[in-house]
Amino acid sequence: MLLHGGGANAHWWDHMAEPLARRRRVIALDFRGHGDSDYPDALEVGAFNFDLEALCEFLGTARFDLVGHSMGAQVALDHASRHPETGRVVLLDLARGASRRSRRIARLALALRRTYENRGEAIDRYRVIPPSEGMEPALLRAIANHSVREDDDGRWGFKFDPRWFTIASRPAPDLSQVRSRVLLMRGGESKLLSPEGAEEFSGQVSGARVLTIPGAGHHVHLDQPEHVLTGLIEFLES
């Protein structure tokens, strides 16, 4: 189960889902208010966790390996702490040890959703937050093509509801309750997961491993997809 980050959508995994699907069943979802999912009128703390739980109930099992990026990593970790039957868990650049300023800048940038005159301009102006220096332009454009939508006023914006970045987060999970094997992948140049934050996390979750990906920032699976895919497959199949 592939869980995207805040402001993203299921298509952020397209370039990795295909090679993974040659080995195992792969499911990626759009959380509510993201991608092609509906925008609910009411916002609810923990809503994305409820989305994952509802999907597991619909599929008839909670025995999934979870791979989450950023916000999706938070959801995966929380889910594993509440559901001991969860399979293996891979956390891509889970935010830990970042400065309050870095976190605030990222949330503010997502909350200030901009719109553009037409679809082409929206695609051309599409960027990831925080910025990525190592991402291939072709990959960015492929994601952008699945990440813009026409608003009711005829202007074009990005496929996420910025209101989600103005509400409080769910209380931190009890990490002592995590029974899954956990791999934390950190971008070597990430500003949102510090080396100290990764080390502290590995001491809080029994048996957790940390893998640092050189040349990657916060969007580790976009900056260095081949290295991430190799590490992911090795962990899931070991």
Q: Is 186 helix (H, G, I), strand (E, B) or coil?
A: strand
Task: Classify the C-alpha dihedral 173-192-62-143 as positive or negative.
Answer: positive
Output the CA–CA distances (angstroms, integers) from residue 149 to 95, 105, 131, 137, 167, in the order listed: 28, 24, 21, 20, 23
pLDDT of residue 238: 85
pLDDT at residue 179 in the model? 95
Residue pLDDT, tens place only, 175-194: 999 999 999 999 999 999 99
Tokens read off for 113 = 């959703």
- From CA 173, how far away is CA 117, in angstroms rounded? 42
Domains and CATH numbers, the chain: 2-237 (3.40.50.1820)
Q: Give CA separation, 3 vs 46, 90, 151, 166, 170, in Å.
A: 14, 10, 25, 20, 17
What is the average pLDDT across 10-32? Answer: 96
Could you tell me the pLDDT band of residue 97, with boundaries at 50, 70 and 90?
Answer: confident
| C-beta separation of 218 from 93 below 8 A | yes
Residues 6+ apart with CB under 8 A from 68: 2, 3, 4, 5, 74, 75, 76, 77, 89, 90, 91, 92, 94
Give the C-alpha separation, 90 to 66, whole Å.
6
Query: Could you read off the pLDDT of 191-212 as tens digits, one per residue?
Result: 999 999 999 999 999 889 999 9
Helix residue spans in 66-172 (DSSP H): 71-82, 100-111, 119-125, 137-145
Look over the chain and give the mean of its residue pLDDT values, rounded to a whole number.
93
Q: Quote the pTM value.
A: 0.94
pLDDT at residue 3, as a whole number: 98
- Examine the pLDDT at 78 and tell me if it is beyond 80: yes
Per residue in 148-170, pLDDT tens? 999 999 999 999 999 988 888 88
Distance, CA of 15 to CA of 197 (rounded, Å): 28
pLDDT at 113 over 90: no
Average of pLDDT values for 132-144?
94
Sign of torsion over alpha carbons 137, 138, 141, 147: negative
The answer to whether 199 and 109 have CB atoms below 8 angstroms apart is no
Three-class DSSP category at 161: coil
* Dihedral of the alpha carbons of 25, 30, 35, 38, in degrees to the nearest 10: 130
Task: Answer whether residue 51 shows pLDDT above 90.
Answer: yes
Which DSSP category does 127 fall into?
-
pLDDT at 103 over 70: no
Rounded mean pLDDT, 123-132: 92
